[in-house]
């Protein structure tokens, strides 16, 4: 994923804003990267529809492997 638009928004916003990122996010690495760059939340829509609620356990495992949690 490229998060240049998200980073640009955070840098150029006239005031501090809370950002929720969504769109084809499906790995713990992507979630960790987004949160590390300053997002307040991440929407996991497509992965949730594909994998069901088990996706959250998988994402948590992947993030733990990255030592993010």
Total length of the chain: 69
pLDDT value for 13: 84
Spatial neighbors of 14 by CB under 8 A, at least 6 apart, are none
pTM over 0.75: yes
Q: What is the residue-wise DSSP string for 17-49? A: ---EE-SS--SHHHHHHHHHTT-SEE---HHHH
Cα–Cα dist 47/2, whole Å: 18
What is the per-residue pLDDT across 13-66, written as a single tens digit (0 to 9) for each? Answer: 888 888 888 888 899 999 998 898 888 999 998 899 999 999 999 999 999 998
CA–CA–CA angle 21, 24, 25 (5° rounding)? 60
């Amino acid at each position: 994923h490229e998060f240049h638009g998200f980073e640009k928004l955070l840098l150029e916003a006239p005031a501090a804003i809370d950002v929720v990122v969504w769109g084809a996010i499906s790995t713990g690495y992507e979630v960790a990267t987004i949160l590390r760059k300053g997002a307040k939340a991440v929407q996991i829509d497509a992965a949730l529809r594909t994998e069901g609620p088990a996706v959250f356990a998988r994402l948590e495992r992947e993030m733990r492997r990255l030592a993010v949690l």
